[in-house]
Amino acid sequence: MPASYAYLGPEGTFTEVALRTLPEAATRELVPYVSVQSALDSVRTGETEAAFVPIENSVEGGITTTLDELVAGQPLMIYREVLLSITFALLVRPGTSLSDIKTVTAHPAAQPQVRNWLKANLPDAVWESAASNADGARLVQEGRYDAAFAGEFAAERYGLVPLETGIHDYPETAQTRFVLVGRPARPAAATGADKTSVVLWQRDDHPGALRDLLGEFASRGINLMLLQSRPTGAGIGNYCFCIDAEGHISDRRMAEALMGLKRICLQVRFLGSYPRADIEVADARKPCPGTSDAEFMEAADWVARCQDGRF
């Protein structure tokens, strides 16, 4: 029996489409789950090998459900990422016209991506959130709602028809980022175009506290790709920080930055180092002067010589 990958279901989600772009997906059993939490929990319990879930959208930012699960749940690690361009269709039951639509549904992350279209074309329609865009299509099939924003590819699966296609307030740039998440293990080897994800908790709240955290990256020439605060649940004003940074934990500059953060933070959760999906290795940013592995090694050798009196 092949190993299985969990994903945010049901069948016909953008998540499933993105997952099927991974070569290894062809050799795995792909199992839909009703929520991001249940998909990730299936990995924690050993029910599945890995879970594939959305984590960031170019319009709305981080997917908070996924971030919060990675922050607060039993530790997991990110091993791969996929970027997928997103365009919606308005799916309805056969015979439904635009004037018939009083209620619409989709995943909450879809609403900011179709807000202007909805205002212009269905200003009086009531929006209700669904567990996923494909689940919204299923609910329309069952008669619970009049229309759903989902991928056009989901129409046939749920016996619906696309009343409108190519819907998006940001048609040229809208993308969703998905990640393959598994149990903690040794990260894959560096490729030269990698990303490292961590969660940081401040030791205490003081002026410049966030600057101190970010300074560990800046002083080593590490570019940040995502910075998002999430509440810890310990009261108003208590936040942790989810960060994606360019580079791999095996890079000297990244390793030293993480060591610095471990010293000054209350807690650091390593979420993985993995290949970037947005660029090729040949196009990766070169290290800033003084931050390459060779320069770190040269500096360490100089300190060792000084300690031995060999100037």
Taking the C-alpha atoms of residue 76 and residue 184, their distance in angstroms, rounded to an integer, is 5
pLDDT value of position 282: 81
Proportion of the chain above pLDDT 90, given as a percent: 78
- Is 220 a residue whose pLDDT tops 60? yes
- The band of 168, judged by pLDDT with boundaries at 50, 70 and 90, is confident
If you average pLDDT over residues 105-125, what whole number do you get?
Answer: 93
If you average pLDDT over residues 226-231, what whole number do you get?
Answer: 93
Query: Which pTM was predicted?
Result: 0.89
Taking the C-alpha atoms of residue 37 and residue 70, their distance in angstroms, rounded to an integer, is 10
Q: Tell me the per-residue pLDDT of 238-276, one tens digit each, with 9 for 90 and over.
A: 889 999 999 999 999 999 999 999 999 999 999 999 999
Q: Tell me the per-residue pLDDT of 194-216, one tens digit each, with 9 for 90 and over.
A: 999 999 999 888 888 899 999 99
Q: Which two three-digit tokens encode residue 132?
A: 């996923």
Q: Which two three-digit tokens encode residue 143?
A: 């008669």
- The band of 171, judged by pLDDT with boundaries at 50, 70 and 90, is low
Mutual orientation of helices 252-264 and 209-218 as an angle, nearest 10°?
160
pLDDT value of position 283: 82
Taking the C-alpha atoms of residue 247 and residue 285, their distance in angstroms, rounded to an integer, is 9
Taking the C-alpha atoms of residue 195 and residue 258, their distance in angstroms, rounded to an integer, is 13
pLDDT value of position 2: 64
pLDDT value of position 172: 67
Q: Give all domains of the chain, ordered by start, each with its CATH number.
A: 1-86+173-185 (3.40.190.10), 88-167 (3.40.190.10), 186-311 (3.30.70.260)
CA distances from 158 to 12, 96, 153, 229 (A): 9, 15, 10, 38
Which is it for the CA torsion 69, 114, 160, 175, positive or negative?
A: negative
In this structure, the number of other CB atoms found within 10 A of the CB of residue 26 comes to 9
Name the 3-class secondary structure at 22.
coil
268: Cβ–Cβ under 8 A, 6 or more apart, which residues? 198, 199, 200, 201, 258, 261, 262
Q: Tell me the per-residue pLDDT of 26-40, one tens digit each, with 9 for 90 and over.
A: 999 999 999 999 999
Lowest mean pLDDT among 76-85, 122-131, 179-188, 200-209: 200-209
| Averaged confidence pLDDT in the chain | 93
The most confident of the ranges 53-62, 86-95, 300-309 is 86-95
Indicate the residue type of 123: P
Lowest mean pLDDT among 46-50, 133-137, 283-287, 297-301: 283-287
